[in-house]
Amino acid sequence: MHCSEFRTAISARVDGEELPPEVSGAALDAHLLSCSACRDWGRRARRLKTLAAGLRPV
Ligand SMILES: [Zn+2]
């Protein structure tokens, strides 16, 4: 499985959505442990989401 598939799952997790059926939570966690590029990507995705939440009009 490629990083791009895991990143789709990471972004779903960040958004609080269900993971794509082809990626289990355990597989995603295992990939994050072994892939620093996806760890960094996930960190950025969370930061962007936090920023976006702060900018959202009330
Ligand atoms: Zn990766």
Candidates 4, 3, 11, 20; CA nearest to 42 is 11
Give the per-residue pLDDT at 57.
73
* pLDDT for the residue 24: 96
CA of 38 to the centre of ligand 1 (A): 4
Query: Ligand 1 mean position to 49 CA, how many Å?
Result: 20
What does the pLDDT read at residue 58?
64
Indicate the residue type of 19: L
Ligand 1: centre distance to CA 58 (Å): 36
Number of domains in the chain: 1
Q: What is the pLDDT of residue 1?
A: 84
Q: Looking at residue 22, what is its pLDDT?
A: 93
Q: What are the residue ranges in the chain where pLDDT is below 50?
A: none
Calculate how far, in angstroms, residue 27's C-alpha sits from the geometric centre of ligand 1.
11
**How wide is the angle at C-alpha 23 spanned by C-alphas 19 and 29, nearest 5°?**
90
Residue 38 lies in domain:
3-55
